[in-house]
Amino acid sequence: MPWLVFMPNAPTPSPWTSSWNPQVNLDSPAGRTIKELVQLVPTGTQITLFGSAPLQISFDPKFLSQDIDCFGPSDLKALVDSHGLSESSRKPYVQVCAALNFRTTPMWSTRAYSLPLDGRIIVIPHPIDILIAKLNRMEEKDLKAFKLVREKTGHPTEEEMIEELRAAVDLFRPGFDEEKANDMKTTTRILWREFFGHDIDVIEKIIRPALLLREEGYAPDNPRTDYKTELSRLATHQTSVGTPSYDG
């Protein structure tokens, strides 16, 4: 079966980024608001958190989170608005976003933690996915999130960060004209200088290896024979009878 190809250069995931099982503190400010939030939706509903709130409830109740970024069912925003949870006078208030706002690695949902809460499910993404989403902005507060996670877990290491950013290589593409997007290459260099203590060549260390790995995955699908040229030859009587070369 030619489409099942072993990719020798595919990275081995770090044990830390494979899964996680946080000790969730729902008595933190964000935790108390989350308990109110789940009461607004029917049982069985899934709400996904991102931003700083998951770090507050998982690592440090004192870690400041002005708002709780989340996404869930389509009527969640209306429910949150009608119950006053989105009022910015609340601390923290709830900001209902689209799943598209959580711009992180494609693997995030495979390693997120699902917390059952009063019959609803709170999805808490892995810290590495939350941190990578913060790289899109990388303000001072976002750098503090990196430092908090390293203080509590000893991760991410430089190798883990490089591996995860390679998996999220499409985040490095330039933004559309219509959107305000930060340059991830710049924010990544800022992270490396501030967090790992030295600069990084983003193209050489992250983008180019990721694109090579992707190309390797497509390689079995790329025909080595130019069948269309063979067809042209058939039309102009320039071919001899013989089995078509099939490189599958």
Judged by the rule CB under 8 A, the positions of this chain that interact with other proteins are 2, 221-223, 225-232, 234-237, 239, 241-248
For residue 218, the minimal CB distance to other proteins (Å) is 10
Lookup result for tokens 């130019």: 226
For residue 169, the minimal CB distance to other proteins (Å) is 23
Name every residue whose Cβ is closer than 8 Å to that of residue 237 and which is 6 or more positions away in sequence: none
Select 84 or 223, whichever has its Cβ closest to other proteins: 223
Distances (CA, A) of 20 to 86, 104, 128, 216: 29, 17, 10, 30
For residue 233, the minimal CB distance to other proteins (Å) is 8
- DSSP letters, 53-103, are HHHHHHT-TTS--SEEEEE-STTHHHHHHHTTTT-TTSSSEEEE--GGG--
Question: Residue 50, SS3?
Answer: strand
For residue 212, the minimal CB distance to other proteins (Å) is 20
For residue 2, the minimal CB distance to other proteins (Å) is 8
Select 2 or 174, whichever has its Cβ closest to other proteins: 2
Select 186 or 229, whichever has its Cβ closest to other proteins: 229
Whether residue 127 is preceded by a cis peptide bond, meaning omega within 30 degrees of 0, is no
Adjacent-strand bridge partners of 115:
122
Select 203 or 219, whichever has its Cβ closest to other proteins: 219
* Integer Cα distance of 161 and 128 in angstroms: 8
* Ramachandran area for residue 197 (φ above 0: left; ψ -120 to 50: alpha; else beta): left
Q: Count of alpha carbons within 13 Å of 174, Cβ hemisphere only?
A: 3
CB 107 within 8 A of CB 167: yes
Select 183 or 247, whichever has its Cβ closest to other proteins: 247
* Integer Cα distance of 134 and 122 in angstroms: 20
Select 19 or 232, whichever has its Cβ closest to other proteins: 232
For residue 152, the minimal CB distance to other proteins (Å) is 47
For residue 226, the minimal CB distance to other proteins (Å) is 6
Q: Are strands 67-71 and 46-50 parallel, antiparallel or unpaired?
A: antiparallel
Select 183 or 227, whichever has its Cβ closest to other proteins: 227
